[in-house]
């Protein structure tokens, strides 16, 4: 993601919203705009990963994401993956880290139970259920 997705600040609707937030809740315009932009960035990251077996990479290609006041507004699930050693990298170093990540993630996915998901019931349990042995399993 290049840049921070700030809203168009000359929008009359946005200006009215900012005025309302300032007058009613004493929320500074800059605070709301930053929060909203980082909310949108987090939403973009969330679109990359849709299931446990998915993997993806988002590159925050803007120095502002390395600032604590910006990063602290990102959700904790994103913050848990942002490491200080990966901030302010050169293009070459970022490319190296990206290649290593993709090489590691492209390894065969070990499927458990043939479906890629861990099942709570064994094949034997399912057979018992099919034979009307559900009571036996529950007690």
Residue 88: which region, alpha, beta or left (left: phi > 0; alpha: psi -120 to 50)? Answer: left
- What is the domain range of residue 121? 109-139
More confident residue, 50 or 111: 50
Question: Whole-angstrom Cα distance, residue 93 to residue 102?
Answer: 14
Question: Whole-angstrom Cα distance, residue 120 to residue 99?
Answer: 35
- pLDDT band for position 30 (50/70/90)? very high
Question: Whole-angstrom Cα distance, residue 82 to residue 78?
Answer: 7
- Are residues 72 and 134 both part of a single domain? no
33-51: pLDDT as tens digits: 999 999 999 998 888 877 7
- Are residues 135 and 97 both part of a single domain? no
Count CA within 13 A, CB hemisphere, residue 103: 6
Report pTM.
0.64
- Are residues 99 and 125 both part of a single domain? no
2 — phi, psi (to 5°)? -95, 120
The answer to whether residue 3 sits within a structural domain is: no
Q: Number of structural domains, the chain?
A: 2
The answer to whether residue 82 sits within a structural domain is: yes
């Amino acid at each position: 993601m290049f840049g921070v997705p700030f809203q168009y600040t000359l929008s009359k609707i946005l200006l009215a919203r900012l005025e309302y937030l300032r007058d009613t809740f004493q929320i500074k315009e800059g605070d709301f705009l930053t929060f909203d932009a980082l909310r949108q960035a987090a939403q973009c990251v969330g679109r990359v990963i849709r299931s446990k077996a998915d993997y993806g990479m988002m590159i925050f290609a803007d120095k502002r994401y390395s600032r604590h006041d910006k990063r602290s507004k990102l959700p904790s699930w994103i913050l848990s993956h942002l490491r200080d050693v990966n901030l302010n990298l050169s293009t070459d170093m970022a490319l190296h880290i990206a290649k290593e990540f993709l090489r590691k993630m492209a390894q065969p996915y070990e499927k458990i139970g043939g479906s890629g998901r861990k099942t709570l019931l064994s094949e034997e349990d399912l057979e018992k259920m099919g034979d009307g042995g559900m009571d036996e399993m529950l007690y």
